[in-house]
Structure formats: C-alpha cells, structure tokens
A and B are shown apart, each in its own frame.
Chain A
Amino acid sequence: MSTDTEFAPASVAGERGGIAPSVLEQLAEIAMLIGSARDAMSDEMVTRLARAISEGATLLDRLTRNEGLLQLLRVLERPEGQHLLIGLSKALDLMDRQVAAAPPSSGGIAGLWKLAREPGAQDAIRLLSILSQCWVESMRDAR
C-alpha cells in the first residue's frame, strides 16, 4: 500500500512528509505579492478600473445588440469584405496625398468637361452609381 508521501513530488514532500520549506517560501512570496498589491491599490484606482469595466460593458452591450453593426461585421468577416476595407483605407491614403499635391481646380464648364473625359473619373462615377443603386435596393428590402 502506498502513502501520500510516496506520491508527493520530491519538491513538495519534506523530510517528514510535510510541505517542503521551498514551497512554503514560494507561498509566502505569493502572499507577500498579494499583500503588496493590496497596499498599492487605492480607492481611486479601483474607481478608475470599475468605471472602465462598466463603460466597456455598456459599449459592448450596445454593439452586440446593434443589428446594423453585426451585419457589417458579418460582411467584413468575408475575405472579399476585408479586401474592400483594405482597398478603401489605401485609397483614402492615396487620395490624401494626391489632394495635397494637386493644384486648385480651375472651375467652369471647361474644367468639368476635362475631368469628365478622364477614364478614372468615369470609373469613379460608375462606382458611385452602382453603390447608389445597390443601397437604394437594400433599403427598399429592409422596409
């Protein structure tokens, strides 16, 4: 028949089958650490932490019950949705640089005509047109 001492790891079992001094030292160290943390904490720290948790929980609750945001998240979960977002962020970055470098528009019908003839501008108008059509359709479906 075996005893508890036989099963206990060497570092835990002491010479007489009790807790080894090294384990006691570790436990004392952990207790000191907890005591130290308790002493270091203040009401103000607890208040700030609780406020952050409370507001965080409220925000999470609102986000997780917002059907629109959840649908958006579902779309963005798909790889093509993520590529769309990455593309959009790159486009915004490029746009920012190009707008900063471009001279001010000359204005007038001639300027508008010149812009309309650019293939890039036509692509942009087509993209916005498709987006608008799809948006209107989805809004009709939602009703």
Chain B
Amino acid sequence: MQILIVGGGTGGTILGNSLARRLASEIRAGKVRITLLSASDKHMYQPGLLYVAFGQMTPDQLYRDEASLLESSIDFHVDPVTEFHLDRNEVKTGSGKTYAYDLLVIATGARIVPQEVPGMAEGSENFYTEEGALRLHKRLMEFRGGTVAMVVSLPHKCPVAPIEAMFLLHDFFKARNIRDKVKLQYNYPVNHVHATANVARWAKPEFDKAGIEYETLFNVREVDPVKKIVYSEEGTECKYDLLIAIPPHRGMEMVETNNLGLGGWIPTDRFKLTMNDHDNVYVIGDATNIPVSKTGSAAHFEAEVASDNIVSVIKTGVPVREYDGRVYCFIEAGFDRATHNAFDYINLPELKPPTKSVHWFKVAYNQMYWSTVRGLL
C-alpha cells in the first residue's frame, strides 16, 4: 500500500506522523510505504506571523526543518507536485518524477491573491507572509498617528485573525503612548463585525471598550494607494494612513491548473473528507471546500479523522469515523487577555470572557505547536 501525502503543512505533517506511528509494524514489514512531498524543506508556524507583525516574535522562531518534524519512516522529498493524474493514481512533480499511489492525501493549503483587488497589493500591508509581516511591523514602528484601517476579504485563513489584529493594534499603540493619536477603523464585509454571529456578539462590545471604530457591509472594490482611500462595493469609502488588508484567498495554483476545484478549493465530502467521486483521495486543511474555518486547528482535527479512517481501512477494510466539523482556536483580545472559540457543524461557538490565563495558554501553544505537528499533542 503506497500512501502519498502532498503538502507538508500542518495537516500533511500531522497526518504523516500519525500514520507512521500507527502503521509502524506494517511499514517495517514492507506492507505500507508513506511518502510526503512538499514544496519546501521548511515548516512554518503560520499563526506566528501575526506576532511578527507586532514585534512579539521573530521570523526565525516560526520555522523548523520539515524533516526534523517527521517520523524517520516517512519518505520525505522536497519536490512540489505539478500534475495530478487521478485517473491513473499518479502525480507528477517539478523534478519530472512520477509518484504512483494507492491512497492520496491532498493537503496543499491556501494562498493569498491581493492582486485580485485593484490597488490592494500596492496600497496595503498584510500579515500573511513573512515578508508582509516584517513590512507591516516596520510600518507600525514608524507610525506616528492617523488612521489605521483594516479591510477584510472572505474566505481567509484564520477567521478571527482580523479581530485579533485590531486588539493587538490597540495594545501596540497604547504601549507606545500614541493610542490617542491613532484612529482604528475596522471594515468587515457582512452585516456584523464577524461572519460568525456569536463571535460578532462578543467582539462588538470589546471593540467599543477599546475605542475601535467599525463599519459593516464593506466589501472592498478597489484601493487607491495615491489618495489613500478604499472604495467598497456598497458605494462607501474609507480614508486611511495605513491600510491593513486581509487579502482574498484561493487554493493553490496547481490545484486550479489541474482543474481539481473552482478557486483552488477541492470539492470534498464534509464528513468522510474524501474528494468527491474519488474514494482513494483524501483532502484536508485549507485545500478543501468544506464549510469550516481555514485554520491549523481544522487541519489538525481533519488529519486525525483521515488518519483513523486510513488506518482502519488498511487494518479492517472499512473506515471508522466521520469529521464533525470540529474547530478550536484562540482569540487574542488585547490587554494581555485571550479567549477561545470551539465549535463544530452543529454546535455554535460560545465565547467566554477573555482572561490572562487563556492568553498564556496561547503564548505557550506558540511553542507547543511543534509537539502538535510531531503528533504528541
């Protein structure tokens, strides 16, 4: 049995390690082989980028060698997939090699496409890449006063990140003693301050408490970097001195070029996590089109379900579990406090009042992440 995992992010790494541990005897006996293909030899802790933007982490703290995170029995190659031939159970890679599989896992993640909004790439900053987070940090350090505006495109990785960023902005300028010279303006595309009603209900009074102004139903149409104005589809506009954009996201380009899914999101059974019409292809993490947050947490829980089912299919012939849409994430709430958000397909999130203890839990998790991807937590 040849298991091929494409993608060495959170989902792919957790799944690979889980399978390698649970199928150790089959691997030793030569009955199972696990291969993981990644576009990079480095593994990035993506949630840390937000902390880099605010000077609370440095880029080197976000990276580990992917090989150091993987079980030694996994055959790991830095060789990005360029072509999927699902009809022949094969993929082709950048090096020209062909990898055959009995079971394929696609965990290729998502990418930002700020260029899809006119003026956004030139006129705004973001914290979704290392380069972007560092540039934003520099801009924030140089900022002396004025309006810092945020605009949000949906869907995007980590749905609570824009809210967290607003609270961190408040704390950041307060610590620099210029909060009274800075107007924080949050613009969100739906008619609440967050797409999830309960999160919105919690965040609104917290925004009021921090003096953060907000406008809802603001879908970005265009950014004018010269006049420093963002125009919305609804006909309103927002002037800014520093614009932070949550850019539009898409699935990976090669997913689109191989016609695996519209916008790069692969049609996936929300319970089985298999690609529609392809029972031997699992899809986990940001690459799916299932209605859950695009977060490392979702990728983690999906990887656990996929692992359970793959192991069960190999050992007993039938899958054993369904994904219930479980997601858990921390929300930094400013003032050294945080809360958490847990929900699934049926149960909506119920946010508790933020506390310092949960903030420390989040700070600790920034380090514990490496144990998580190794399959320990």
Q: Which residues of A contact B (CB under 8 A)?
A: 38, 41, 43, 46-47, 49-51, 53-55, 57-58, 61
Q: Which of B356, B364, B374 has the most CB of A within 10 A?
A: B364
A54 touches B356 (CB 8 A): no
A31 to chain B, nearest CB (A): 15
Complex CA gap A60/B155 in Å reads 40
Q: Which of B336, B360, B370 has the most CB of A within 10 A?
A: B360
Nearest-neighbor residue (CB-CB) of B72 within chain A: A62
A41 touches B371 (CB 8 A): no
Complex CA gap A41/B371 in Å reads 23
A54 touches B367 (CB 8 A): yes
B363 touches A54 (CB 8 A): no
Known: A38-B356, A43-B56. A61 touches B364 (CB 8 A): no
Nearest-neighbor residue (CB-CB) of B375 within chain A: A61
Interface residues of B in 357-377 (CB under 8 A from A): 360, 363-368, 370-371, 374, 376-377
A58 touches B374 (CB 8 A): yes
A61 touches B363 (CB 8 A): no
Contacts of B365 in A (CB 8 A): 50
The count of chain B contact residues (Cβ–Cβ below 8 Å) is 15
Complex CA gap A61/B71 in Å reads 11
A46 touches B368 (CB 8 A): no
Complex CA gap A61/B377 in Å reads 11
**Other-chain contact of B363, A46, A55, A57, A58 (Cβ < 8 Å):** A46
What's the dominant secondary structure at chain A's contact region?
helix
Nearest-neighbor residue (CB-CB) of B365 within chain A: A50
Complex CA gap A43/B374 in Å reads 24
Complex CA gap A38/B359 in Å reads 12
Known: A38-B356, A43-B360. A50 touches B367 (CB 8 A): yes
A49 touches B374 (CB 8 A): no
A40 to chain B, nearest CB (A): 12
Known: A38-B356, A43-B56. A50 touches B374 (CB 8 A): no
Known: A57-B376, A58-B376. A46 touches B370 (CB 8 A): no
Nearest-neighbor residue (CB-CB) of A52 within chain B: B367
Nearest-neighbor residue (CB-CB) of B24 within chain A: A65
Q: Which of A38, A46, A47, A54 has the most CB of B within 10 A?
A: A54
